[in-house]
Amino acid sequence: MRSFTIRKWKGRILASSLTITDVEAGYGSVRVLHGVSITVEDGESVVLLGSNGNGKSTLIKCITGIVRPSAGAITLDVDGVTTDLVGMAPQDIVGLGIAMVPEGRRLFPALSVEENLVLGAFRKEARPMIAENLDFVFETFPRLKERRGQLAGSMSGGEQQMVAVARALMSNPKILLVDEPSVGLAPILVSQMIAKIKELKDQRAMTVLMAEQNFNQAIKIADRGYVIVHGEIAYEGATAEDLSNNDMIKEYYLGA
Amino acid sequence: MFTFDLLINAVAAGLMLGGFYAAVAIGLSITFGQLDIVNIAHPTFVILGSFVAFVINESFGIDPVLIGVVFMPIFYFLGMGLYQIYYVSFEKTGQESLSGLAFFFGLMFILEVLMILAFGVDYRLVSAAYIGETLHIGPLDLPLRMLIPAVAATLMTIAVVLYMSKTFMGKAIMAVSQDRLALQLMGADPIRVKRIALGIAIATAALAGALLIIIQPVEPSVGRLYIGRIFAIVVLGGMGSISGTFFAAILIGVVESFIATFYGPSWAPAVGFGILLLTLAIRPQGLFGRA
Ligand SMILES: Nc1ncnc2c1ncn2[C@@H]1O[C@H](COP(=O)(O)OP(=O)(O)O)[C@@H](O)[C@H]1O
Ligand SMILES: [Mg+2]
């Protein structure tokens, strides 16, 4: 299998980071995020931990423009170009090289696996690389190659999660946002999926932000992370060890 | 009396009739089947295509098929504009289901009235050298006024199927009603995708209309005769399947031709719905539906 350990892809030095500052957001009159600030530096795997309903998905949706923050800033730095993402449409944000694996996967159920993957390469920058990216994801997930003609809606949960991750990779992203890959999957499949994402991140020199409530799974990929409680960052762990040793996390996740 | 000659001529006439039905149904297959837009005015755009062919053919003697093809881009922009109005007035505010239907109903009547004001209620014809000709192959009689539209419709279907399956935009059109947000996450603007799709749908009406007026004389409200049949074809073929629509159109054409030949033409229009109901009882997703 090909391996790219230096932070280069197709000869270009890639540098990409996200900075989220004092973001407030919600739905209608319900405030969900209260002044959230996080950063994701180039090449990092950052995890956003928090149990159900604390605002993880809302924050991810703010980054991709699905939810518009009422205050605060979200900036993307790619190869020295800084873009303010607030107010941009999701398709334009995705066009800058951010891919999102949404909670619940959101495949196109009546399209085949391959058609789903091809749509992943819709953005202009990804189109010239469609053939090699398709080879790459089929190499990564051989199961999808076998099932390329099957309707996505008729696949098992684990296979659908593979399609969702593979489809995001087809857009050749610099930053990959993954929202709760563990939902609805057996623990063994979650472990495999997280290991795969970690491997992909290294191979493709991507920057990863993953929202997850399953601490024991998320910690496997984390360089560092945040804990979000009731829409506020309650703890910031500078390393995976910090996260593991933190009392609050133990209380929340490890039943200590 | 049931003879071999009668049989194969009934089949041939049905295939040609079905080919023409496909030309009218393809556009609706895109709007209704792919976009979930109940464009009840589609046959009226087909009639508009017929009158464009009539006017230009009468003034300049240009071949009606050529006129249909040349007007496809103009109808494409018409369709894009139509979607924009529909989007701003209904979809944006989430009122597309009922008010949207009323919109297309209204559009149908307005277009019809405008055409009546412009052309009157008389039946109009086009002229072309081949319209009175018939190709004889053994026992087969193939009137060119049926054969040429069928061939043109088949070519148009192939072009649309290729566009849908081979281009990014075509795939996005297939996906847009399944999950609009997910499509945005692919980097596509769903409004633009739907605008292009409705543009293509209305573009097919330009050619379908030209083909119709080659087959038979046309007056402004003749489109209404086709509404039920065309919706039946789209549902029968399977929502979202363009090639399914084509085969369903052929099937309806052949069966109608059989009924007309062996039982009498008055039964033919009921056939489409009969087949539709029968199919839906056995295969709710239609003949070629995906899910
Ligand atoms: N579309 C929505 N409309 C209204 N409230 C929502 C919506 N989505 C999420 N919420 C609310 O926002 C809060 C945070 O939800 P979410 O960001 O999905 O949390 P998490 O991903 O951490 O489980 C919850 O109280 C949830 O009920
Ligand atoms: Mg969530």
- Which residues form the pocket of ligand 1, taking CB atoms under 6 Å from any ligand atom? A 27, 30, 32, 50, 52-58
Phi, psi at B168, each rounded to 5°:
-60, -45
Question: Best mutation site among A23, A24, A31, A32 for ligand 1, i.e. most ligand atoms within 8 A of its Cβ?
Answer: A32
Residue B287 lies inside a defined structural domain of this protein: no
Reference A211, options A38, A32, A50; nearest CA is: A50
Interface-testing mutation among A57, A119, A129, A165, with chain B (most B C-beta atoms within 10 A)? A119
C-beta separation of A213 from A50 below 8 A: yes
pLDDT value at position A54? 94
Which pLDDT band, with edges at 50, 70 and 90, does A122 fall under?
Answer: very high
ipTM: 0.91
| Six token digits for residue A40 | 């994701």
Residue B134 CA to residue A102 CA, distance in Å, equals: 60
pLDDT value at position B223? 87
Of A172, A201, A228, at which residue does a domain stop? A172
Q: What is the CATH classification number for the domain harbouring A58?
A: 3.40.50.300
Residue A7 lies inside a defined structural domain of this protein: no
Chain A residues inside the 8 Å CB shell of B286: none
Q: Are residues A180 and A93 in the same domain?
A: yes
pLDDT value at position A175? 95
Q: How far is the CA of A164 from the centre of ligand 1 (A)?
A: 21
Phi, psi at A124, each rounded to 5°:
-50, -45
Higher pLDDT, B170 or A246: B170
Q: Are residues A90 and A121 in the same domain?
A: no
A100 touches chain B (CB under 8 A): yes
Task: Name, in order, each residue with C-beta under 8 angstroms of A30's C-beta and a sequence gap of 6 or more.
Answer: none
Report which residue type is found at B181.
Answer: L
A129 touches chain B (CB under 8 A): no
The region, left, alpha or beta by phi > 0 then psi within -120 to 50, assigned to residue A43 is left
Chain A residues inside the 8 Å CB shell of B188: 91, 119, 122
Task: Name, in order, each residue with C-beta under 8 angstroms of A74's C-beta and a sequence gap of 6 or more.
Answer: A18, A19, A20, A21, A23, A62, A63, A84, A85, A86
Interchain proximity A102–B182, CB inside 8 Å: yes
A115 touches chain B (CB under 8 A): yes
Side-chain-facing half-sphere of A255: CA atoms under 13 Å: 2
Q: How far is A67 from chain B (nearest CA, A)?
A: 12
Q: How far is the CA of A72 from the centre of ligand 1 (A)?
A: 19
Residue B288 CA to residue B291 CA, distance in Å, equals: 9
Q: Are residues A92 and A108 in the same domain?
A: no
- How deeply is A165 buried, as exposed, middle or buried, from its count of CB atoms within 10 A (0-12, 13-18, 19+)? buried
Residue A5 lies inside a defined structural domain of this protein: no
C-beta separation of B159 from B143 below 8 A: no
* Helices within A128-225 (DSSP H only): 130-140, 142-146, 157-169, 187-204, 215-218
Q: Are residues A130 and A146 in the same domain?
A: yes
pLDDT value at position A254? 54
Structural domains of chain A, count: 2
Q: Are residues A157 and A178 in the same domain?
A: no
Chain B residues inside the 8 Å CB shell of A99: 185
Q: Are residues A162 and A180 in the same domain?
A: no
Q: Are residues A178 and A256 in the same domain?
A: yes
Closest-lying ligand 1 atom to the alpha carbon of residue A231: 14
Residue A49 CA to residue A206 CA, distance in Å, equals: 20
Chain B residues inside the 8 Å CB shell of A90: 181, 184-185
Below-70 pLDDT ranges, chain B = 1, 291
Residue B124 CA to residue B122 CA, distance in Å, equals: 6
Which residues does B contribute to its contact with A (CB < 8 Å)?
168, 171-172, 174-175, 178-179, 181-189, 240, 290-291
Reference A97, options A15, A11, A180; nearest CA is: A15
Higher pLDDT, A130 or A183: A130
Is residue A5 pLDDT above 50, yes or no?
Answer: no
Residue A177 CA to residue A77 CA, distance in Å, equals: 15
Phi, psi at B89, each rounded to 5°:
-80, -35
Token match 């300049």: residue? B60
Residue A79 CA to residue A42 CA, distance in Å, equals: 10
Interchain proximity A123–B186, CB inside 8 Å: yes
Q: How far is the CA of A86 from the centre of ligand 2 (A)?
A: 20
pLDDT value at position A66? 97
Of A172, A200, A228, at which residue does a domain stop? A172
pLDDT value at position B10? 92
Domain of residue B20: give its range. 4-282
pLDDT value at position B84? 95
Q: Are residues A110 and A88 in the same domain?
A: no
Side-chain-facing half-sphere of A47: CA atoms under 13 Å: 30
Structural domains of chain B, count: 1
Residue B106 CA to residue B83 CA, distance in Å, equals: 15
Nearest CB to B178; choose among A64, A108, A127: A108
Q: What's the mean per-residue pLDDT of chain A? A: 90
Interface-testing mutation among A66, A108, A114, A150, with chain B (most B C-beta atoms within 10 A)? A108
Chain A residues inside the 8 Å CB shell of B179: 106-108
Task: Name, in order, each residue with C-beta under 8 angstroms of A150's C-beta and a sequence gap of 6 or more.
Answer: A112, A113
Helix (H) or strand (E) holding B23: helix B4-28
Nearest CB to A91; choose among B174, B188, B240: B188
Token match 């792919």: residue? B34
pLDDT-above-90 percentage for chain A: 73
Q: Are residues A180 and A81 in the same domain?
A: yes
Helix (H) or strand (E) holding B26: helix B4-28
Q: How far is A26 from chain B (nearest CA, A)?
A: 18
Q: Search chain B and give the residue with CA nearest A98.
A: B185
Task: Name, in order, each residue with C-beta under 8 angstroms of B219's C-beta and a sequence gap of 6 or more.
Answer: B119, B121, B122, B123, B124
Q: How far is the CA of A50 from the centre of ligand 2 (A)?
A: 9
Is residue A8 pLDDT above 60, yes or no?
Answer: no
Closest-lying ligand 1 atom to the alpha carbon of residue A60: 17
Output the residue whose Cα is nearest ligand 1's atom 18. Answer: A57
pLDDT value at position A3? 40
Q: Are residues A180 and A71 in the same domain?
A: yes
Phi, psi at A51, each rounded to 5°:
-75, 175
Q: How far is the CA of A60 from the centre of ligand 2 (A)?
A: 9
- What are A192-219's pLDDT values in tens digits? 889 989 988 888 889 999 999 988 899 9
Instruction: Calculate mean pLDDT across residues A77-83.
Output: 87
- How deeply is B241 buried, as exposed, middle or buried, from its count of CB atoms within 10 A (0-12, 13-18, 19+)? buried
Q: Are residues A92 and A178 in the same domain?
A: yes
Q: Are residues A39 and A161 in the same domain?
A: no
C-beta separation of A20 from A175 below 8 A: no
Interchain proximity B174–A122, CB inside 8 Å: no
pLDDT value at position B104? 92
Residue B288 lies inside a defined structural domain of this protein: no
Residue A225 CA to residue A209 CA, distance in Å, equals: 9
Of A116, A143, A172, at which residue does a domain stop? A172
Residue B45 lies inside a defined structural domain of this protein: yes
Question: Would you tell me the crossing angle of helices A130-140 and A157-169 to the nearest 10 degrees?
Answer: 150
Report which residue type is found at B63.
Answer: D
Q: How far is the CA of A55 from the centre of ligand 1 (A)?
A: 6
Please name every residue paired with A101 in a beta bridge, in sequence order, or none if there are none.
Answer: A178
C-beta separation of A17 from A42 below 8 A: yes
Domain of residue A32: give its range. 14-97+174-184+192-256
Interface-testing mutation among B165, B168, B185, with chain A (most A C-beta atoms within 10 A)? B185
Residue A4 lies inside a defined structural domain of this protein: no
Give the torsion sign (CA, B209, B211, B213, B219): negative
Higher pLDDT, A128 or A246: A128
